[in-house]
Amino acid sequence: SPEMKQSSPTCRLRLRYFLFDSGHTGLGSAPLWASILHQDSRQAVVWRPESSSVRSWREATIFLGRVSSSFRIRLHSQRSEGSKGDVAIDQLEFLGCALPQPIPGEACPAGMFACHHRGCVNQLQVCDASDDCGDGKDEERCDFYHRCDFESDLCGWDLRSISKLKWIRTSQEKISRSDPLKGPGRD
């Protein structure tokens, strides 16, 4: 995609795709997926179709969310050892990706919160753990809320009491990029 500077928390990409695999041998188990390519070359898988062969056009809405630096969307297609299969993509459209625009010379209307850059967001978006302003102001004074993003620990959760499964905290960098169907793309 063209480079995008930033995106809002509601940003998504809608597209239509077609996958055909004659005999399920040409395209393999991961014929198509999308990732966000960050400015520093980090990549996060954000979408995989539910099936490797749909034989018709399908619509997908890919949640991109808030990205605070420049990025691109990369669509990947991969063929297995077979030779027959088709992948097509059409009607790509970014939706809800713009951050609030400054309102020149005006205060925010009632029920709205003023961002540093003079844009406005709904008061209900303040302290919701999402940078809706795009400049962080709506998340600055939120110390009275308990917050945890699971980036450094399990935030006090003891999963042994609710499940016999072994839970492991991981990251995109630790998941294999050679098999995009393995593990979550991101949280």
For the segment 160-182, what is each residue's pLDDT rounded down to a tens digit?
Answer: 777 777 777 776 666 655 555 56
DSSP string over the chain: ---BS-B-TT-EEEEEEEEE-GGG-SS-S--EEEEEEETTS-EEEEE--S-S--SSEEEEEEE---B-S-EEEEEEE---S----EEEEEEEEEES-PPPPP-TT-PPPTTEEE-TTS-EEEGGGTTSSS--SSSSGGGSS-TTS----SSSS-TT--GGGT-SSPP----GGGS-SSSTTSS-S--
Higher-confidence position of 182 and 86: 86
62-75: average pLDDT: 92
Instruction: Give yes or no: residues 72 and 106 share one domain.
Output: no
- Judged against a pLDDT cut of 90, whether residue 83 lies above it is answered with no
The reply to whether 7 falls in a domain is no
CATH code of the domain containing 77: 2.60.120.200
Question: 36: helix, coil or strand?
Answer: strand
| Domain total in the chain | 2
Chain-centroid distance, C-alpha 148 = 19
The reply to whether 5 falls in a domain is no
User: How confident is the model over 32-68, as pLDDT tens digits?
Assistant: 888 899 988 888 888 888 766 677 899 999 999 999 9
In whole numbers, what is the pLDDT of the chain averaged over residues?
82
Domain limits at 87?
A: 12-98
- Judged against a pLDDT cut of 70, whether residue 19 lies above it is answered with yes
Say which range, 20-24, 73-77, 103-107, 146-150, has the weakest mean pLDDT: 20-24
Q: How many Å apart are CA 71 and CA 67, to the nearest integer?
A: 8
Which pLDDT score, from 0 to 100, does residue 79 have? 66
Q: Among 79, 75, 84, 74, which Cα is nearest to 30's?
A: 79
Which pLDDT score, from 0 to 100, does residue 111 have? 94
In the chain, pLDDT over 90 holds for what percent of residues?
Answer: 39
User: How confident is the model over 100-129, as pLDDT tens digits?
Assistant: 988 887 889 999 999 998 899 999 999 998
DSSP state of 7: B
Q: How many Å apart are CA 30 and CA 180, to the nearest integer?
A: 7
CATH code of the domain containing 131: 4.10.400.10
Is 92:13 a contact under the CB 8 Å cutoff?
yes
Which pLDDT score, from 0 to 100, does residue 50 have? 74
Total-model pTM: 0.75
